[in-house]
Amino acid sequence: MKIDPVTLEVIRNRLIAASRDIRRTVERAAYSPILYEVVDFSCGILDGEANLIAETPGLPIFLANLGYAVRSTYETIGRENLRPGDVILCNDPYNGGGTHCPDLVTLCPVFFDGEIRGWAAFRGHTVDMGGIYPGGWYSDTTEVFQEGFRMPPVKLLVEGKNNEDVFRLIRANTRVPDAVLGDIRAMVAAVRKGSQRFSDVIDRFGLKTTVGALNEILLQGERMARAAVRRIPNGTYSAEAILDGDGNDDAPLDEKLLLKLTITVKDDELTADFTGTGPQNRGPMNTPEPSTISATRYAFKIVTTPHLPCNEGFFRALRIVIPDGSFLKPRFPAACAMWPTPSTTIPDLFLKALAPAIPDRVRGGHFGDSMANFIYGVDPKSGKYYVCAEADAGGYGGKPLEDGEAALFSMTLGDTYNVPAEVVEVRYPWRVERYELVQDSGGAGKSRGGLGVRRDYRLGSDAGLTVTTDRVKYTPPWGVFGGQPGKTNLTVVERLDGSKEEWRKISNLPLKKGEVVSFRGGGGGGYGNAVERDPNRVARDVVDGYVSMAAARDEYDVVIDPATLQVDRAATTALRKALRKETSA
């Protein structure tokens, strides 16, 4: 059925509005900072066949797995067994979830004439769904059974009524039932609202027109994506990175994980092939296939159509090849609590691989990890158990025409907000001692990499600490076109006796009252050769303390007069000349 362009535009806008409604409801009414500040969620409107029609940006890395949840629901419960008013919940990484146990998915079907015509969907992170220690991200689990309470798609609401059995099961399986159930209430309200808005569209425009519009929306998405792929020169491009691996630093399980990407652009189709990527590991650094697809779609979106709203049609121009049994397509029951870690590197590798093809649309590598960390214990004031789950920020790579951005969350995360120090101090029993940029953490380059961030907490009572930081050891945030790498991520624990421990991954480390934990997100890589940078810009960076005087000399070959903080022209020229001679000799 041919849909007139005006009706199509009206329906498209209404469905986008419906998915925004889902987001707004959860954001404002949720209990966990990870939902309302970190925005560790995504929401979407799907058609009856599980194609994403409209989404509202939350966490971009969740782009594809809403459809997976719907397909799993059909397989597990059966399409014919669903009724109007049902709300589905699932979190099993291998059945409906596709990520890790703390991520809950709620789905509400849209019925018309007794048939499912669409879905409103929400996926979001809750603070705790059980598992060996609080938080849900572990670095030392070895099978998914250790990682939390798993639910395949189940009916949380049956024809509009709470299925109290399921609520009781959840309450019994989380350390913080009030927060988790509060979040679930918000999630349920949200998808019901979204589903209602979708129903309104069908009521208003009729089924035939609505279905026709949905198909046209997908077709248009496909056309957009294909046109954008054509703008990338044909060819084969590749890049790789080595992830640190998993386990406690004290007891590593697998040390090095090779992530390999080969991109082939042929006319209007792009193939992302992960052949050569290492096998699934013993620990939790495994990304279930739906999430690998999701991360790859996100990357595809970045290099093709970054400013357009998204739907399933765009990805008809993308082929994805993932080797079976690799850590990007692990087999049940592989542990997968740290699925986001490998997937954070995927979009950055896309930019690295395609740098020769589209040099004006890429940047240096970013710090490459969400820096997820968890502090938990009993609050001495209230006597209650708390779990604080946070991400930390770092630097992004230098850009073709300007320096990299400082202090942003990783690419895995999106329009995600930090928890302000003043909020932290109200909520948790510790003090924020410093929240600042780290000098010299950005890779040198014609465009300098952005600076990383340091956040120090001094604990006011004993607590446990789990940190999942990666990309510390083998692959720093890379530079491009001659730019230097940025400083890598790190966590430092300062003990009561003043000794300092440097960590990558930590599982359940006991901390004492008065000890300091310092999260340090790395910087971004540089873009272009540092000696091509205007010495005056280097001097300005020194005045502002982004770059030290020593680094100005060592990395940029620029001598700064310590008295005036201006470029010492003569000394700089001499230094650059001497270095050139050295290189040519």
Partner 1 sequence: MYRVSTDVGGTFTDGVLLDEKTGKIAISKVSSTPHNPAIGTIECIEKFDKPLCDASFLSHGTTVVINALIEGKGAKTALVTTEGFRDVLEIGRCNRTEMYDALYRKPRPLVPRHLRLEVQERIDADGKVVRPLATADLERVLGVLEREKVESVAVCLLNAYANPEHEAGIGAFLQQRLPGVAVSLSHLITRRYYEFERTSTTVQNAYVMPVVRTYLNDLEDELRGRGFGQILQIMQSNGGVMAASVAREMPIAMVESGPAGGAIGAAQLAKLVGFENVISYDMGGTTAKTSIITHGLPETAEQYVVEGRPILLPVVDLREIGAGGGSIAWIDEAGAMHVGPQSAGAQPGPACYMRGGKEPTVTDANLQLGILDPGYFLGGEMQISKSLAEQAIRSMADHFDLSVDEAALGIVKIVNTNMSGLLQSMTVKRGYDPREFVMVAFGGAGPIHAAAIAKELLIPTVIVPPYSGVFSAWGMLMADLRHDLEQTYIAPLVGASPAELNGVFRSLEERIRGVFEKEEIEDSRITVSYVVDLRYTGQEHTLAVAAAAPVTESSKALLAASFDETHLRVYGHNAPEEPKEVVSLKVIGIGNVNKPLLEKIPAGKPTPPAAARMGERKVYVGNGRYQSFAVLRRERLLSDNVVAGPALIEEATATTAVETGQSCRVDEYGNLIVSLSGEA
Q: Which residues, 159 to 178, sit near partner 1 by CB under 8 A?
A: 178
Q: Which of residues 198-237 bind partner 1 (CB under 8 A)?
A: 219-224, 227
- With beta carbons less than 8 A apart as the criterion, state whether 41 and 62 touch: yes
Q: Which of 423, 496, 550, 579 binds partner 1 (CB under 8 A)?
A: 423
Q: Which is nearer to partner 1, 71 or 537 (CB)?
A: 537
* Interatomic CA distance for residues 525 and 452, integer angstroms: 11
Q: Which of residues 256-315 bind partner 1 (CB under 8 A)?
A: 298, 301-303, 305-307
Stretch of 4-12, 129-137, 264-272, 550-558 lying at the interface with partner 1 (CB under 8 A): 4-12
Q: Does 8 bind partner 1 (CB under 8 A)?
A: yes
Report residue 91 as tokens. 């979190």
Q: How far is the CB of 301 from partner 1 (least distance, A)?
A: 5
Q: Which of 263, 387, 437, 467 binds partner 1 (CB under 8 A)?
A: 437
Q: Which is nearer to partner 1, 143 or 425 (CB)?
A: 425
In sequence order, which residues have a C-beta less than 8 Å from that of residue 476 and are 6 or more positions away? 365, 485, 486, 487, 488, 522, 525
Residue ranges of the alpha helices (H) in 355-478?
A: 421-427
- With beta carbons less than 8 A apart as the criterion, state whether 506 and 470 touch: no
Q: Assign residue 131 a region (left: φ > 0; alpha: ψ between -120 and 50; beta: otherwise).
A: left
Q: How far is the CB of 580 from partner 1 (least distance, A)?
A: 31
Report residue 392 as tokens. 């930390």
Q: How far is the CB of 226 from partner 1 (least distance, A)?
A: 9
* Interatomic CA distance for residues 398 and 127, integer angstroms: 34
Stretch of 23-31, 103-111, 322-330, 551-559 lying at the interface with partner 1 (CB under 8 A): 23-31
Q: How far is the CB of 37 from partner 1 (least distance, A)?
A: 7
Written as one letter, the residue type at 295 is A
The 3-class SS string of 34-46 reads HHHCCCCEEEEEE
* Interatomic CA distance for residues 399 and 527, integer angstroms: 6
* Interatomic CA distance for residues 239 and 311, integer angstroms: 27
Stretch of 2-10, 66-74, 104-112, 118-126 lying at the interface with partner 1 (CB under 8 A): 2-10
Q: Which of residues 542-561 bind partner 1 (CB under 8 A)?
A: 543-546
Token pair 């590991």 in the structure block, residue: 281
Q: Which of residues 446-465 bind partner 1 (CB under 8 A)?
A: 453, 456
Q: Which of 19, 23, 31, 108 binds partner 1 (CB under 8 A)?
A: 31
Stretch of 102-110, 181-189, 326-334, 497-505 lying at the interface with partner 1 (CB under 8 A): 181-189
Q: Does 193 bind partner 1 (CB under 8 A)?
A: yes
Q: Which of 195, 277, 373, 418 binds partner 1 (CB under 8 A)?
A: 418
Q: Does 355 bind partner 1 (CB under 8 A)?
A: no
Q: Does 405 bind partner 1 (CB under 8 A)?
A: yes
Q: Which is nearer to partner 1, 13 or 234 (CB)?
A: 13
Q: Does 83 bind partner 1 (CB under 8 A)?
A: no
Q: Which is nearer to partner 1, 24 or 513 (CB)?
A: 24
Closest CA to 309 of 12, 3, 7, 11: 12
- With beta carbons less than 8 A apart as the criterion, state whether 505 and 139 touch: yes
Token pair 């519009």 in the structure block, residue: 213
Q: Does 36 bind partner 1 (CB under 8 A)?
A: yes
Q: Does 57 bind partner 1 (CB under 8 A)?
A: yes
The phi and psi torsions of 407 (rounded to 5 degrees) equal 55, 65
Q: Which is nearer to partner 1, 138 or 300 (CB)?
A: 300
* Interatomic CA distance for residues 506 and 311, integer angstroms: 38
Using CB under 8 A as the binding criterion, the count of chain residues that bind partner 1 stands at 86
Q: Which of 19, 23, 30, 466 binds partner 1 (CB under 8 A)?
A: 30
Q: Which of 239, 387, 408, 490 binds partner 1 (CB under 8 A)?
A: 408
Q: Which is nearer to partner 1, 250 or 267 (CB)?
A: 267
* Interatomic CA distance for residues 60 and 295, integer angstroms: 8
Q: Does 122 bind partner 1 (CB under 8 A)?
A: no
Count helices and strands in the chain by DSSP H and E runs: 12, 22
Report residue 559 as tokens. 């001598």
Cα torsion through 571, 572, 575, 579, rounded to 10? -170
Angle value at C-alpha 369, between 374 and 416, nearest 5 degrees: 70
Report residue 290 as tokens. 């739906």
Stretch of 72-80, 257-265, 326-334, 409-417 lying at the interface with partner 1 (CB under 8 A): 409-417
Q: Which of residues 356-395 bind partner 1 (CB under 8 A)?
A: 361-363, 393
